């Protein structure tokens, strides 16, 4: 095992002889690199004629020499290289590993507007296609042909059911309490604080319970869906499922959507109850309304159609949250930053779509007289 070099008339010749396996002579390498760096050279000759066995340590030394030669514009030639070694060295320099320079392309305003519109249209079509695939998976589930594991469904059901009870209860209680406070301020002007009970009961059961539950589950469960599936995308697990012919919407999306659709109406009922309880705390302990009177006006204000409208909102919100979380997870990028972006987009999109759907359903129910 020998590494030697000599310089003659601005030409350096580096000779590798014998077996270069697990080469550990750091002094010889440092001397070679130091001479190459501090000597004005015009050419470099790497001679491997006497080379016998070799491993990656030799490849590293040669690549470092060639890299420095290119930096200093020194011509180099390789003599006596085995074919396998020459192929490895060529491969090392055949790919440009530097990221391409970022170019900001400034388009005329009309062309930029058109480009933005086309990109939004493609994104819309992509989302519609994902929803179609999801409905197809739901159809296969109802006829028993969907490809997903029961344990995945139970795990998703566990995650968005009793584990969410605490935060839904606390937030809904506080919302009912705040709603009663705000209502009491205005109703006190007319001396009818007793109608705080009706206000809280109608507000929570018809819309506020469902909306607060939706916002909570969007930040809690929708973000979890996007992060989990996005991490699977980064780890190429989704590619593996597609390679094996397993529908991604069946295996990953279907258990999560079905579990959230089931649990959202139940959590909405819990939110309604806790909101009414929060309003009762204000009415009984701060407005000096008796428990019997508060319950009487609450019961009188509770209408079955308001309760069912709230449950229907919860059902739709569950579908919206699950769709947004799974969509951005499946379409996540291939790095860690993309997982964070997908999670953020899932939460923002689900909340925005919940508000839009609420406005649409409010108009429809108003036209229907509900």
33-86 pLDDT, tens digit each: 788 777 778 888 888 887 788 887 888 888 888 888 888 888 888 888 888 888
What is the Cα–Cα distance from 165 to 65, expressed in whole angstroms?
A: 64
Beta partners for 4?
15
Where exactly does CATH 3.30.750.24 map onto the chain? 2-92
b/e per residue 93-113 (b: at least 16 CB within 10 A): eeeeeeeeeeeeeeeeeeeee
State the pLDDT confidence band at 21, using cuts at 50, 70 and 90: confident
The confidence score (pLDDT) of residue 110 equals: 83
Q: Which CATH number among 3.30.565.10, 3.30.590.20, 3.30.750.24, 3.20.20.10 corresponds to the domain 2-92?
A: 3.30.750.24
State the pLDDT confidence band at 335, using cuts at 50, 70 and 90: confident
* Cβ pair 230, 334 in contact under 8 A: no
What is the Cα–Cα distance from 331 to 351, expressed in whole angstroms?
A: 19
The confidence score (pLDDT) of residue 96 equals: 61
The confidence score (pLDDT) of residue 104 equals: 62
Take residue 268 and report the two structure tokens written for it.
């909405």
State the pLDDT confidence band at 183, using cuts at 50, 70 and 90: confident
Query: Could you give the percent of the chain with pLDDT greater than 90?
Result: 21
The confidence score (pLDDT) of residue 267 equals: 93
94-129 pLDDT, tens digit each: 766 565 666 666 778 788 888 888 988 998 898 899
The confidence score (pLDDT) of residue 98 equals: 61
């Amino acid at each position: 095992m020998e590494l030697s070099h000599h310089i003659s008339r601005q030409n350096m010749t580096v000779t590798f002889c014998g077996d270069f396996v697990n080469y550990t002579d750091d002094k010889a390498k440092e001397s070679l690199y130091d001479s190459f760096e501090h000597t004005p050279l015009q050419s470099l000759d790497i001679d491997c004629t006497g080379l016998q066995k070799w491993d990656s340590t030799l490849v590293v030394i040669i690549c470092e020499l060639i890299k420095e030669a290119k930096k200093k514009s020194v011509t180099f030639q390789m003599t006596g290289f085995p074919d396998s070694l020459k192929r490895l060295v060529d491969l090392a320099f055949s790919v440009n590993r530097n990221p391409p320079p970022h170019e900001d392309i400034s388009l005329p305003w009309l062309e930029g507007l058109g480009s933005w519109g086309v990109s939004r249209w493609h994104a819309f079509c992509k989302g519609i296609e994902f929803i179609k695939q999801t409905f197809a998976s739901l159809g296969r589930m109802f006829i028993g042909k969907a490809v997903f594991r029961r344990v995945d469904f139970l795990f998703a059901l566990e995650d968005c059911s009793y584990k969410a009870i605490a935060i839904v209860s606390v937030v809904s209680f506080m919302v009912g309490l705040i709603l009663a406070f705000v209502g009491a301020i205005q109703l006190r002007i007319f001396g009818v604080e007793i109608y705080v009970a009706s206000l809280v009961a109608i507000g929570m059961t018809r819309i506020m319970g469902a909306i607060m539950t939706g916002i909570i589950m969007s930040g809690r469960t929708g973000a979890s869906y996007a992060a989990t599936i996005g991490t699977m995308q980064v780890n190429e697990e989704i590619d593996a499922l597609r390679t094996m012919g397993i529908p991604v919407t069946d295996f990953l999306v279907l258990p999560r959507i079905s579990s959230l659709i089931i649990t959202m109406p139940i959590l909405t009922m819990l939110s309604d109850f806790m909101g009414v309880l929060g309003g009762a705390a204000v009415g009984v302990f701060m407005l000096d309304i008796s428990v019997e009177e508060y319950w009487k006006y609450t019961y009188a204000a509770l209408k079955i159609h308001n309760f069912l409208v709230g449950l229907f909102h919860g059902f739709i919100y569950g579908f919206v949250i699950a769709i947004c979380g799974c969509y951005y997870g499946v379409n996540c990028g291939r790095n860690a930053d993309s997982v964070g972006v997908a999670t953020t987009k899932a939460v923002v999109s689900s909340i925005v779509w919940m508000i839009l759907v609420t406005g649409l359903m409010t108009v429809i129910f108003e036209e229907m007289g509900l």
